[in-house]
Amino acid sequence: MANLHDRLAAKIPIWRDELHDLVKNHGDKVISQVTVAQALGGMRGVKGMICDTSEVPPERGLLIRGIPLADLTGHTPEDIFYLLCTGDLPGDAAREDLRAELARRARVPRYVWQVLESLPPQSHPMCMLDTAVLAMQGESRFVQAYHEGVARNELWRSMLEDCLTLLARMPTIAAGIYRLRFRKGDPIEPDPALDYSSNFAHMLGLRDLHAEAADALRLYLVLHCDHEGGNVSAHTCSLVGSALSDAYYSVSAGLNGLSGPLHGLANQECLSWVLEVRDQFGGVPTEAQLRQFAWDTLNSGRVIPGYGHAVLRVTDPRFTALLEFGKAHFPQDEIVQLVARVFEVVPKVLEEQGKAKNPWPNVDAASGAVLHHYGMTEFSYYTVMFSVSRTMGMCAQLIWNRAMGMPIERPKSVTYAWLKQQVSGA
The long-range contacts involving 312-315, CB below 8 angstroms and separated by at least 24 positions, are 312/56, 312/58, 312/61, 312/358, 312/360, 312/362, 313/58, 313/59, 313/357, 313/358, 313/360, 314/58, 314/59, 314/60, 314/61, 314/358, 314/360, 315/61, 315/360, 315/361
Q: Which is nearer to ligand CMX, 249 or 319 (CB)?
A: 319
Distance CA 67, CA 116 (A): 38
- Find, among 293, 256, 257, the residue nearest to 274 by Cα: 293
Residue 339 binds ligand CMX, judged by CB under 6 A: no
Footprint of ligand CMX on 70-99 (CB under 6 A): none
Distance CA 201, CA 317 (A): 24
Q: Is 5 a catalytic residue?
A: no
Residue 234 binds ligand CMX, judged by CB under 6 A: no
Rounded least distance, CB 42 to ligand CMX, Å: 6
Residue choice 239, 266, 284, 370 for contact with ligand CMX (CB under 6 A): 266
Identify the bridge partners of residue 54 per DSSP, sorted by sequence position: 64
Rounded least distance, CB 214 to ligand CMX, Å: 24
Residue choice 90, 264, 326, 368 for contact with ligand CMX (CB under 6 A): 264
Rounded least distance, CB 357 to ligand CMX, Å: 4
- Find, among 80, 397, 387, 323, the residue nearest to 218 by Cα: 80
Rounded least distance, CB 259 to ligand CMX, Å: 11
Contact code string over 23-62 relative to ligand CMX, x by CB under 6 A: ---------------------x------------------
Strands, DSSP E only, in 154-210?
none
Identify the bridge partners of residue 361 per DSSP, sorted by sequence position: 307
Footprint of ligand CMX on 282-301 (CB under 6 A): 298
First to last CA, the chain: 59
Question: Which distant-in-sequence residues (6+ apart) come within 8 Å of 44 by Cβ?
Answer: 38, 310
Virtual torsion, Cα 257, 391, 157, 136, nearest 10 deg: 70
Q: Which is nearer to ligand CMX, 49 or 119 (CB)?
A: 49
Helix (H) or strand (E) holding 342: helix 334-353
Residue choice 61, 87, 305, 347 for contact with ligand CMX (CB under 6 A): 305
Q: Which is nearer to ligand CMX, 71 or 352 (CB)?
A: 352
Residue choice 115, 119, 303, 406 for contact with ligand CMX (CB under 6 A): 303
Rounded least distance, CB 364 to ligand CMX, Å: 5
CB 242 within 8 A of CB 401: yes
Residue 255 binds ligand CMX, judged by CB under 6 A: no
Q: Which is nearer to ligand CMX, 87 or 305 (CB)?
A: 305
> By CB under 6 A, which span of 19-27, 54-62, 129-137, 307-315 interacts with ligand CMX?
307-315
Q: Which is nearer to ligand CMX, 171 or 305 (CB)?
A: 305
Q: Which is nearer to ligand CMX, 198 or 231 (CB)?
A: 231
- CA dihedral (164, 166, 170, 172) positive or negative: positive
Rounded least distance, CB 271 to ligand CMX, Å: 12
Residue choice 3, 250, 256, 362 for contact with ligand CMX (CB under 6 A): 362
Residue 309 binds ligand CMX, judged by CB under 6 A: yes
- Find, among 261, 236, 252, 194, the residue nearest to 387 by Cα: 252
* Catalytic residue chosen out of the listed positions 202, 263, 372, 373: 263
How far is the CA of 195 from the CAs of 4, 48, 203, in angstroms?
17, 38, 12
Taking only Cα atoms into account, the Rg of the chain, rounded to an integer number of angstroms, comes to 22
Q: Which is nearer to ligand CMX, 53 or 231 (CB)?
A: 231
Q: Is 364 a catalytic residue?
A: yes
Q: Is 372 a catalytic residue?
A: no
User: Strand, helix or coil at 411?
Assistant: coil
* Catalytic residue chosen out of the listed positions 202, 227, 364, 373: 364
Residue 356 binds ligand CMX, judged by CB under 6 A: yes
Active site residues: 263, 309, 364
Per CB under 6 A, residues contacting ligand CMX are 44, 231, 262-264, 266, 298, 303-310, 355-358, 362, 364
